[in-house]
A and B are shown apart, each in its own frame.
Chain A
Amino acid sequence: MRKIPLIFFALFLMAMTLEPRLKDPALEARVDEISKILRCVTCESQSIYESRAPLAVDMRGMVRKMVSDGKSNEDIIAFMHSKYGDHAVMTSSSTLRPLWLTTLALAVMALAGWRFSSRRAAKNSR
Chain B
Amino acid sequence: MLRYIPILVFAVLLALLFAILLARHDDDSPMVGANVPPLALESFDGKPITPDFAGKTHLISFYASWCVPCLAEHPVLMQLKNEGISIIGIGWRDNPEKLSRWLDSHGNPYALTTVDPKSEAAISMGITGVPESFLISRDGVIIKHWRGPLSERDIEYIKQASR
Binds A, one of B43-51, B68-76, B96-104, B123-131: B123-131
Q: Which residue of B lies closest to A59 (CB)?
A: B123
B1-28 residues with Cβ-Cβ distance < 8 A to A are: 6-7, 9-10, 13-14, 17-18, 20-21, 28
Most buried by B among A58, A59, A81, A109: A58
Binds B, one of A4-12, A23-31, A98-106: A98-106
Report yes or no: A83 in contact with B126, Cβ–Cβ below 8 A.
yes
Q: For the complex, is A22 an interface residue (Cβ under 8 Å from B)?
A: no
Report yes or no: B9 in contact with A101, Cβ–Cβ below 8 A.
no
A76-108 residues with Cβ-Cβ distance < 8 A to B are: 80-85, 98, 101-102, 104-105, 108
Q: Which residue of B lies closest to A84 (CB)?
A: B126
How distant is the Cα of A113 from the Cα of B14 in the complex, in angstroms?
12
Report yes or no: B118 in contact with A58, Cβ–Cβ below 8 A.
yes
How distant is the Cα of A102 from the Cα of B122 in the complex, in angstroms?
30
Report yes or no: B21 in contact with A105, Cβ–Cβ below 8 A.
yes
Give the shortest distance, in Å, between B114 (CB) and chain A (any CB).
Answer: 16
Q: For the complex, is A42 an interface residue (Cβ under 8 Å from B)?
A: yes
Give the shortest distance, in Å, between A77 (CB) and chain B (any CB).
Answer: 13
Report yes or no: B14 in contact with A108, Cβ–Cβ below 8 A.
yes
Number of A-B contacts (CB under 8 A): 64
- A104-126 interface bits toward B, Cβ cutoff 8 Å, 1 = contact, 0 = none: 11001100110110010000000
Report yes or no: B119 in contact with A61, Cβ–Cβ below 8 A.
yes
Report yes or no: A108 in contact with B13, Cβ–Cβ below 8 A.
yes
How distant is the Cα of A42 from the Cα of B122 in the complex, in angstroms?
13
Q: For the complex, is B87 an interface residue (Cβ under 8 Å from A)?
A: no
Report yes or no: A83 in contact with B124, Cβ–Cβ below 8 A.
yes
Q: For the complex, is B88 an interface residue (Cβ under 8 Å from A)?
A: no
Q: Which residue of B lies closest to A101 (CB)?
A: B21
Report yes or no: B128 in contact with A108, Cβ–Cβ below 8 A.
no
Q: In the complex, what residues of B have CB within 8 A of residue A82's CB?
A: 30, 34
Report yes or no: B125 in contact with A101, Cβ–Cβ below 8 A.
no
Report yes or no: B119 in contact with A105, Cβ–Cβ below 8 A.
no
| Residue contacts A-B, CB under 8 angstroms, 5 given | A42-B129, A59-B123, A62-B123, A112-B6, A113-B10
Q: Interface of B with A (CB < 8 Å)?
A: 6-7, 9-10, 13-14, 17-18, 20-21, 28-31, 34, 93, 118-120, 122-126, 128-129
Q: Which 3 A-B pairs have the closest CB atoms?
A: A58-B119, A83-B126, A112-B10
